[in-house]
Amino acid sequence: MTTNHKPLSIIAKCALCSIKTELFVCSHCDEVICQKCVDKHQLKLNETLKEHWNLCKTKFDNLSRLSGFIKIRKNSFVNVSFCLQIFTIKMRVMLKMKSIEYVY
């Protein structure tokens, strides 16, 4: 994440460290801070962004894994359903054949 901090044309106390120096407006939070604090703040933002990115990657990986598992389970259920249909058809045929034997 690239942030462009807008320099102010005033020298005053930094809102974070209270040092009198040229100030910048943080483009992330609009805080009026000095260059030293801007750099620290940027590091903190980068760490937070990295944590959020890693969390998103982990959640995506988990969802991808679950999606694959669901597809496997679906295919398994389709196979079982197909086998049951074939079994049912065979049983009907066998029952019809048995009923024909009894008739004769």
pTM of the model: 0.52
Cα–Cα distance measured from residue 10 to residue 35, given in angstroms and rounded to the nearest whole number:
13
Instruction: Output the pLDDT for position 3.
Output: 57
Tens of pLDDT along the chain (104 residues) come to 455 655 556 788 888 899 998 888 887 788 888 888 988 988 988 999 999 999 999 999 988 888 887 777 777 888 888 888 888 888 888 887 777 665 55
Kindly list the distances between the CA atom of residue 71 and the CA atoms of 61, 82, 84, in Å, as whole numbers in the listed order: 15, 16, 20
Which stretches of 1-104 are DSSP H helices? 35-103
Name residues whose C-beta falls within 8 Å of residue 28's C-beta, 6 or more positions apart in sequence.
3, 41, 45
Cα–Cα distance measured from residue 49 to residue 43, given in angstroms and rounded to the nearest whole number:
10
C-alpha angle 72/73/75, rounded to 5°? 65
